[in-house]
Amino acid sequence: MESKSRIRIPDLLEMKRNGRKITMLTAYDATMARLLDNAGIDVLLVGDSLGMVVLGEDSTLGVTLEMMVHHTRAVVKGTRQALVVADMPFLSFQSSMRDAVRNAGKLMQQGGAAAVKLEGGAAAAGAIRRLTDCGIPVMGHIGLVPQSVHQLGGFRPVGRTGAEADALLRDAEAVEGAGAFALVLESMPAKLAGRITEERSIPTIGIGAGVECDGQVLVSYDAFGFFDAFVPRFVKRYAELGTEVTEAARRYIDEVRRGEFPAREHSILTESGA
Ligand code: KIV
């Protein structure tokens, strides 16, 4: 979309109808959000992946609502055009409808998000329905749902058996039926994701789910080469910025130690130029 106006939820539905692919990346701070927004990204997801790629945890389970609000505020400040979606962290919506509304409300009122994303299929439909009834737009997320890593037995692809595929088709139907405006499909066979995309009228956004989805999302720290604790097979590295940062830091250390930095042009001079 060439226009400079802010992307809104109906724009995503229109993109599906027109066959224009939706682009989504994660962001966790204002500076990265500004860079991605300037590039023309449609959606910025403040993913709870921040627990792993920013905070160094080995899962997303330790991410709290307060952390999500804090990072969402920063991303919103750095964004002019993209739709900002904030992840609902582990156990922030399952305990009661009241908690779901209160916590999603905080992500919007205090964080400034335009929508929330929550993990889960048929089991999450009640919360999705309640939130959308309150005017809170919800993006669903099915397939490999990282908040259930222990139940799944690891970060593994799902939907490869007939039974798992049938369950995912039912999940997609339940999430759309509950009022979600879009659906993330994570780590599942491309054929299954293609079928869900064809059957559902809301846009699907794939990560490790093939090219037939209506859009794609990647964790920006993976895509730009900042994070290499593990790189899932479905990630494409569009840059190796981690290596560049380490090399730049080495040059800085070297120049400081040699007394080459700061040079005259980086120094504050007296009025007489001394
Ligand atoms: O938290 C996250 O970054 C996500 C994406 C992987 C979709 O949920």
Task: With a cut of 60, say whether residue 87 has pLDDT above it.
Answer: yes
What would the mean pLDDT of 39-55 be, rounded to a whole number? 98
What would the mean pLDDT of 149-176 be, rounded to a whole number? 96
b/e 175-202 (16+ beta carbons within 10 angstroms → b): bbebbbbbbbbbbbbeebbbbbbeebeb
Task: With a cut of 50, say whether residue 217 has pLDDT above it.
Answer: yes
Task: With a cut of 60, say whether residue 2 has pLDDT above it.
Answer: no
Which residue's C-alpha comes closest to atom 1 of ligand 1?
47
For residue 93, the 8-state DSSP code is S
Predicted TM-score (pTM) of this structure: 0.96
Question: Which of ligand 1's atoms lies nearest the C-alpha of 60?
Answer: 1
Determine the pLDDT at residue 230: 82
- Of the pLDDT bands very low, low, confident and very high (cuts 50, 70, 90), residue 1 is very low
Determine the pLDDT at residue 231: 87
85 pocket-lining for ligand 1 (C-beta < 6 Å): no
Is the domain 9-239 a CATH 3.20.20.60 member? Answer: yes
Cα–Cα distance for residue pair 36/43, rounded to 1 Å: 10
Mean pLDDT of the chain: 96
Task: Say if residue 97 is exposed, middle or buried (CB neighbours under 10 Å; 0-12, 13-18, 19+).
Answer: middle
What would the mean pLDDT of 216-223 be, rounded to a whole number? 98
Q: What distance in angstroms lies between residue 130's CA and the mean position of ligand 1's atoms?
A: 22
Which residue's C-alpha comes closest to atom 8 of ligand 1?
47
pLDDT > 90 in the chain, percent: 95
**pLDDT by residue (tens digit) across 154-167?**
999 999 999 999 99
Cα–Cα distance for residue pair 273/49, rounded to 1 Å: 50
Determine the pLDDT at residue 254: 98
Task: With a cut of 50, say whether residue 186 has pLDDT above it.
Answer: yes
Closest CA to 219 of 204, 238, 203: 238
Closest CA to 127 of 169, 149, 83, 95: 95
Cα–Cα distance for residue pair 149/178, rounded to 1 Å: 24
Contacts of 247 (CB under 8 A, 6+ apart): none
- Of the pLDDT bands very low, low, confident and very high (cuts 50, 70, 90), residue 55 is very high
47 pocket-lining for ligand 1 (C-beta < 6 Å): yes
220 pocket-lining for ligand 1 (C-beta < 6 Å): no
26 pocket-lining for ligand 1 (C-beta < 6 Å): yes
52 pocket-lining for ligand 1 (C-beta < 6 Å): no
Using CA atoms, how far residue 112 sits from 89, 108, 230, 271, in Å, is: 16, 5, 31, 46
Q: What distance in angstroms lies between residue 48's CA and the mean position of ligand 1's atoms?
A: 6
Using CA atoms, how far residue 45 sits from 11, 258, 267, in Å, is: 16, 43, 40
Cα–Cα distance for residue pair 53/89, rounded to 1 Å: 15
* 3 vs 175 pLDDT, higher one: 175
Say if residues 211 and 190 touch (Cβ distance below 8 Å).
yes
**pLDDT by residue (tens digit) across 106-140?**
999 999 999 999 999 999 999 999 999 999 999 99
Determine the pLDDT at residue 66: 98
